[in-house]
Structure 1
Amino acid sequence: MDQENNHSTKNVARSAFWASFLFYGLIAFEFFYMFSPFAAYIYSIYGPGLETLNLSGSTSWLISFFLPHIARETQSLFITWHEVIGMTLFLGGFLAFLVGAAQIYRSKLKNSGAVFGGIYNYIRHPQYLALMVSSFGMVLVWPRYLVLFGFVTVCFAYFFLARIEERSCKQKFDGYKEYCSQTGMFLPPAIEQLFHYLPRPQKRWSRIMTSLALYICVLMMIFFAARALHLYSVNNLYTHITEHEVYLSLGQIDADEIAEIVHMVKSDSSVAASLVEFQDPDQRFINYMMPASLFVSEVPMYIPEGETPTHEWPGEKDQNRYKIIYSLAQFGPESQAKGQQILLQAVNKIPVLEVWINRKSQIIEKILYSTPDQDYEGMPVPVF
């Protein structure tokens, strides 16, 4: 009976592992296609799921970003470079995974039994640890709340799968039990030793309920940490905020300069006339400010023929000619934000107007009436 239970538990754990791995793989794929020429086409695969989550106020926040994706330059060094840090962790973890995999498959080809040397001399599951590091890197690169929760789920799946594999290895390989006593599962023994003092239920269902409670607690802790990062990120953007509008600069610019540009644009009679139909007090705006030569795919805008939307650094562009893309902020059901909360709660935006200005001569160069987003067709994409 014990063997049947172990076999059943192993199958359940493996199924959970591959399900969560597939889920997280799709999330990682979302990031890569967003930077590919086929983004608009492949995004239709994810669109229905994101739109479904956006139908309810209880789930719409899951698709929000808690770190910037559109704004490239911020007042925080970490927030500015979080994608670079994340990509470094992602690639580093993937390379470490390949190193561990090479040791395992070399041992299998030689039929030399369990691997105790190399990186396995320090921890028993370097491949799972590498995948955790890589997954955390993806959280920083593509920081939706949904991605964060997927990361936690995958980590728990790795832990239980590692436990099951160790029970099997202790039966199959001589010396594996002693090896376990001298090494850590994912961290050095000196660190993991601290967790040995935690109480461990003896009954199977007690262990299951304890694990479930721990999983929920970790999700709650990671959620509150992400919310704090979300607020920290918004506080460190270059913005000009009123009760109904947020002017968000994608690059570094002084607050007084943003206010000056906003005043110049709002004072222009042509701009005022173009915006008069959007004076409903219930409407909220997210207005993106950037060099005129910068074109970003997640901000619906006029794209000249031959230009390709990118995520280049705004500071590298001509700072004399700017543009502001006025867009109506969209929220989840039963949400009505004001001021800074517009950025914190918005899940999408609808383009309205595009104003090109010459900062040096203080003139409005042109006004373009925005068309609906042709790439993502209103599907939820990052808003800051």
Structure 2
Amino acid sequence: MSDIQAYGLWPLVIINSLIIIIFAFSFTRPKTSRDWRSFGGFAAFIIALFTEMYGFPLTIYLLSGWLASRYPEIDLLSHDAGHLSYTLLGLSGDPHLGLLHLVSSIFILGGLFLLTTSWKALYTAQKNHALATTGPYAYVRHPQYDAFTLIMIGFLIQWPTILTLIMFPILVWMYKRLARSEEKEVLAEFPEEYSSYMAKVPGFIPRLG
């Protein structure tokens, strides 16, 4: 890819952002202000990511002096140079065919799959006015937040930027607070049943074995 084609591709920024955001929206269906906060934070992460991936490489620009001195052979304005994790580890070849890209794709696809299966279980439970305890909810209490986190980790492995690295821990912290707020509401509605469920099923990290 030539330098001219590497960045400034704003239609790609818009199209790629919309694909991920619309997909996530279709399986989260935010209703409350809390739902919109969690979804909005994820959407902001995705927009920031693709803006640097195809629009303007802010991270490359800010680190250009250090990168140019440490990796003089690399064309910093090329698309491949944006795969900073690949560059910093001293890997060679096409980053799209490397192990890091494969691992990132597993995280992203796994997160998208978890998001869809979680929504199906939650939708069925809400339709029956019951607790969601099947599917991914049998292993963790907040699989949808786990799904958002997995997708973000996958993109950070593939295309780390200063802004998304700052946003990631803030969003994880926000999801944890939102999850605690949700649990208080569900406990008020299903006190005994949800207390028993909480005692058996962890919040975010499934138990092994």
Superposition TM-score tier, normalisation by shorter sequence: 0.5 to 0.7
Match of 1:17 in 2: 38
**Which residues in structure 2 correspond to 1:165-244 (within 5 Å)?**
165-174=182-191, 175-188=193-206
Larger helix proportion, structure 1 or 2? Answer: 2
Kept after mapping to 2: 8 A contact 1:132/1:155:
yes
Match of 2:77 in 1: none
Match of 2:24 in 1: none
Q: Which amino acid aligns with 1:118?
A: G
Larger radius of gyration: 1
Q: How far apart, CA to CA, are the structure 2 residues paired with 1:69 and 1:98?
A: 33
Match of 2:166 in 1: 149
Specify the SS of the correspondent of 1:68.
Answer: helix
Q: How far apart, CA to CA, are the structure 2 residues paired with 1:176 and 1:88?
A: 32
Kept after mapping to 2: 8 A contact 1:65/1:144:
no
User: Over residues 138-167 of structure 1, what are the superposed CA-to-partner deviations in whole Å (9 max), with x where a residue is unaligned?
Assistant: 101111132222222221111111000000
User: How much has 1:119 moved relative to structure 2?
Assistant: 2.0
**Which residues in structure 2 correspond to 1:343-354 (within 5 Å)?**
none
Say which of 159, 163, 168 aligns to 2:176.
Answer: 159
Q: How far apart, CA to CA, are the structure 1 residues paired with 2:39 and 2:120?
A: 21
Q: How far apart, CA to CA, are the structure 2 residues paired with 1:80 and 1:95?
A: 23
| Structure 1 residues 182 and 158: alpha-carbon distance in aligned structure 2, compared to 1, 3 A threshold | same
Matched, 1:121 2:138: yes
User: Over residues 52-105 of structure 1, what are the superposed CA-to-partner deviations in whole Å (9 max), with x where a residue is unaligned?
Assistant: x84xx9xxxxxx864136999539xxx942122111210111111110111111
TM-score (norm 2): 0.61
Kept after mapping to 2: 8 A contact 1:169/1:176:
yes
User: How much has 1:28 moved relative to structure 2?
Assistant: 4.1
Share of identical aligned residues, percent? 23
Matched, 1:83 2:104: no
Q: How far apart, CA to CA, are the structure 2 residues paired with 1:161 and 1:142?
A: 27
Match of 2:85 in 1: 67
Kept after mapping to 1: 8 A contact 2:101/2:157:
yes
Matched, 1:95 2:116: no
Unaligned stretches of 5+ residues in structure 1: 1-9, 58-63, 191-384
Aligned length: 157
Q: How far apart, CA to CA, are the structure 2 residues paired with 1:69 and 1:84?
A: 16
| Structure 1 residues 181 and 129: alpha-carbon distance in aligned structure 2, compared to 1, 3 A threshold | same
Q: How far apart, CA to CA, are the structure 1 residues paired with 2:49 and 2:120?
A: 23
Q: How far apart, CA to CA, are the structure 2 residues paired with 1:71 and 1:129?
A: 27
Kept after mapping to 1: 8 A contact 2:126/2:132:
no
Q: Which amino acid aligns with 1:101?
A: W
TM-score (norm 1): 0.35
**Which residues in structure 2 correspond to 1:242-281 (within 5 Å)?**
none
User: How much has 1:189 moved relative to structure 2?
Assistant: 5.4
Specify the SS of the correspondent of 2:203.
Answer: coil
Unaligned stretches of 5+ residues in structure 2: 1-31, 66-81
Q: How far apart, CA to CA, are the structure 2 residues paired with 1:167 and 1:145?
A: 35
Q: How far apart, CA to CA, are the structure 2 residues paired with 1:178 and 1:146?
A: 40
Q: RMSD over aligned Cα, in angstroms? A: 3.7
| Structure 1 residues 73 and 122: alpha-carbon distance in aligned structure 2, compared to 1, 3 A threshold | same
User: Over residues 319-372 of structure 1, what are the superposed CA-to-partner deviations in whole Å (9 max), with x where a residue is unaligned?
Assistant: xxxxxxxxxxxxxxxxxxxxxxxxxxxxxxxxxxxxxxxxxxxxxxxxxxxxxx
Q: After the TM superposition, list the runs of 4 or more consecutive aligned residues in structure 1 that deviate by more than 6 angstroms.
A: 69-72
Larger strand proportion, structure 1 or 2? Answer: 1
Say which of 128, 133, 136 aligns to 2:150.
Answer: 133
Q: Which amino acid aligns with 2:110?
A: G
| Structure 1 residues 29 and 173: alpha-carbon distance in aligned structure 2, compared to 1, 3 A threshold | farther
